Chain A
Amino acid sequence: MNKIEAKNVDVYYGAKQALFDINMDIEANKVTALIGPSGCGKSTFLRCLNRMNDVIDICKVSGVVKINDYDINQKDTDVVRLREKVGMIFQKPNPFPKTIYENISYGPEIHGVAQSKSEMDNIVEESLRKAALWEEVKDRIHEPGTGLSGGQQQRLCIARTISIKPEIILMDEPCSALDPIATAQIEELIDELRKEHTIIIVTHSMSQAARVSQNTGFFHLGKLIEVGSTDKIFKNPTQQQTQDYITGRFG
């Protein structure tokens, strides 16, 4: 069964339509990459999956987005529960202006996950370990998270997200502000996280999509042109546009 099924999704920013009739299935415990030229609607689609478009006043979403066979676009969907299940990593690392510890404990606290201080300590350590950050920060977890390097901050944000054990993690160009070494670390991490989470990653780097993903979807001008296994999309696309984009002829 598919983890996520999007059916006939249209998105408008005011009068301007940003996504046109998107239909896409996303498999569980795989990494799905979304690629396409700038402004084609990748971020917008990603934000449909945890209803972050609600935050933007002028944004209107229609269509069906089913997660675990439940349509999240219904009126009575509990957005707090939804976002507990669907975490999100942003393009620019955005740690809260709090300590490293508090950054991680934020999620478990608002969702009432931990019953005691020691349980919380465990969650913090486990999340930092999973995000491959523990060794680097274990002596300074009570210092501000904003004092870390860019790559460390991004891993802190990943640790923050996995602290509440989401089933799905959405990543919007998570490496675009990072150097190659930090990028390699995050990519390795993504492969590790795939065991427990379903991951959808937006990226501008073809090679990154090829390295980390099992499935790939190609967007162009608000439409989903082609979706399939990464191998097939990169080696043997059915659409001419996909071929052109992947070989760098436009975009």
Chain B
Amino acid sequence: MNSVIFLTIVLLALSSYFFGRKKAILIQSNKRLTALPKFYGYYLAIWCGAPAFLLYALWSIFEPSIVRFFILSDYSSQGLLEGELNLFYEKVKSLSRNQYSGELTAELQRSAEKYLNFRDIAKWSKVVIVLSLLIASTGYAYTKISNNTKTREPVEIFLKGVFFLSSLAAILTTIGIIFSLLFQTIEFFQVIPLFDFVFGMHWYPAKAFVRDASEALDPSMYSDTFGAVPIFAGTFFIALIAMCVAIPIGLLSGIYMAEYASKRLRQYAKPVIEILAGIPTVVYGFFAALTVGPFLKDLGLSLGLEVSAESALAAGGVMGIMIIPFISSLSDDVITSVPQNLRDGSYAMGATKSETIKRVIIPAALPGIVGSILLGVSRAIGETMIVVMASGLAANLTLNPLESTSTITAQIVVILIGDQQFGDPKTQAAFALGLSLFIVTLVLNIVALSVVKKYREKYE
């Protein structure tokens, strides 16, 4: 039903575009218009679609709570608790769908009938009212169309409103996510002391298995459970390994692309490198887990080294490969945008190509290169799949790249798969980790962007 109404509105708005335009064209034959005929079309389409759609949306949002209010108003005087009312209302709804299997009371039956009744009324009155609003507003606008109707301004205002609402939606969801992270994290820290989290050396979230609610809020349950040092350390360690792979290779290939590669090669190689950046990380993950991990283990065996099948080295190395295209392509861009007259100046002094690159171009492009590296680091820190698949899930505190370690992102996965409950510290720990991660990457991104911006100002 809802989709039918929605489609009707869209179709009517579309057709009123043509009506509006047609009328304008007719007027045009003997009077000059203030705007192109298509603006008259847009104008009518907006008057047709926008008010009806708005009403339709508001109605859909408020209908359930209004219906609920009417159903429960019979019982509100009986002094029931909020929870009991909720339960009752849920029963009414499932009965009305014929999915109720509990004890039937006369009250329940009566309310369910009333509920169905109300829903019916609401549905049909919605159709009638929305459609009549649509007809009224379209008719009003249609009669108003004359040769000097102001159509351009309302269309512009409407479009501005659409753009504004879209960006508002983007911003509000971001803020909403941050706040939900924040609230859950605060609750977490009411049970687990901040100090234990930030400086604790043991991370065993599996230990925090609580049997009942009274235990759940007892801090002594969680000593030595949520110490995040091992996973912070693991995160930075794996990111470090990744950057040791990604920075040299990415940078050198970026320089090659920008300075040495012929136009033809560049034309083909650059898109290929950019495609690499689009490979889903889970693919890198099984490459790391099934190919690189076992290979390193065998290699270690033949050298007499003990290498775990899931090692920080495998995960970090493959993560580095994943990041190469970012660094390569971004640094290629910043190097290419170094002005040609600096190169000419250096060549004219008798400098060779490599001297020019090393002593003039890299210094000039440095801020941009640093920016691209920082963006790479923030990708490394936020990467999940590769670590989950290739570096194990046990949070060891180690600096041996041949052992397995875990990262913030991987631990969030560990916590949130399997049994979990909202409001229990184990689940909330995931939010605390998420917030830490968010802060770290946010800071990195801000620094990276400001460095890149400074670079831009210098040459423009």
Contact = CB atoms under 8 A, between A and B. Distances in A.
Interface of A: 50, 52, 55, 57, 79-84, 87-88, 90, 92, 94-98, 106-107, 110-111, 146, 157, 160-161, 164
Interface in B336-366: 339, 341-352, 355, 359-360, 363-364
Given A92-B341, A97-B458, A50 B355 contact: no
Contact of B352 (A80, A90, A97, A98): A80
Nearest to B359: A106
A90 B345 contact: yes
A2 B360 CA distance: 35
Interface residues of B, number: 20
A106 B346 CA distance: 9
Q: What 5 A-B pairs come out closest when comparing CB atoms?
A: A83-B350, A88-B348, A94-B341, A94-B345, A84-B350
29 contacts: A52-B344, A52-B347, A52-B348, A55-B343, A57-B263, A79-B350, A80-B351, A81-B350, A83-B347, A83-B350, A84-B349, A84-B350, A87-B349, A94-B344, A96-B342, A96-B345, A96-B346, A96-B364, A97-B363, A97-B458, A98-B363, A106-B346, A106-B351, A110-B351, A110-B352, A110-B355, A111-B350, A160-B349, A164-B349
B345 A80 contact: no
Interface in B312-352: 339, 341-352
Given A96-B364, A97-B363, A107 B344 contact: no
Contacts of A97: 342, 360, 363-364, 458
Nearest to A109: B359
A164 B350 contact: yes
A96 B344 contact: no
Interface centre among A84, A87, A96, A157 (most CB of B within 10 A): A96
A94 B355 CA distance: 17
Contacts of A84: 349-350
Given A55-B343, A94-B342, A96-B342, A161 B364 contact: no
Contacts of A164: 349-350
Contacts of B349: 83-84, 87, 106-107, 110, 160-161, 164
A83 B355 CA distance: 14
Contacts of B351: 80, 106, 110
A146 B455 CA distance: 13
Contacts of A95: 345
B350 A110 contact: yes
Specify which of B339, B347, B349 lies most central, judged by the most chain A CB atoms within 10 Å of its CB: B349
A207 B352 CA distance: 37
A82 B350 CA distance: 7
A90 B344 contact: yes
Contact of B350 (A57, A90, A107, A157): A107
Contacts of A83: 347-350
Nearest to B342: A94
B422 to A, nearest CB: 55
Contact of A96 (B347, B350, B360): B360
B346 to A, nearest CB: 7
B458 A94 contact: no
A57 B266 CA distance: 15
A90 B20 CA distance: 61
B367 to A, nearest CB: 10
The CB with the most chain A CB atoms within 10 A, among B342, B346, B347, is that of: B347
Contacts of B348: 50, 52, 83, 87-88, 90, 161
A146 B458 contact: yes
Most buried by A among B339, B346, B350, B359: B350
Nearest to B351: A110
A39 to B, nearest CB: 19
A57 to B, nearest CB: 8
A164 B360 CA distance: 18
A161 B343 CA distance: 14
Given A80-B352, A106-B359, A146-B458, A94 B347 contact: no
Nearest to A83: B350
B259 to A, nearest CB: 12
Contacts of A81: 350
A92 B345 CA distance: 10
A82 B342 CA distance: 19
B370 to A, nearest CB: 14
A88 to B, nearest CB: 4
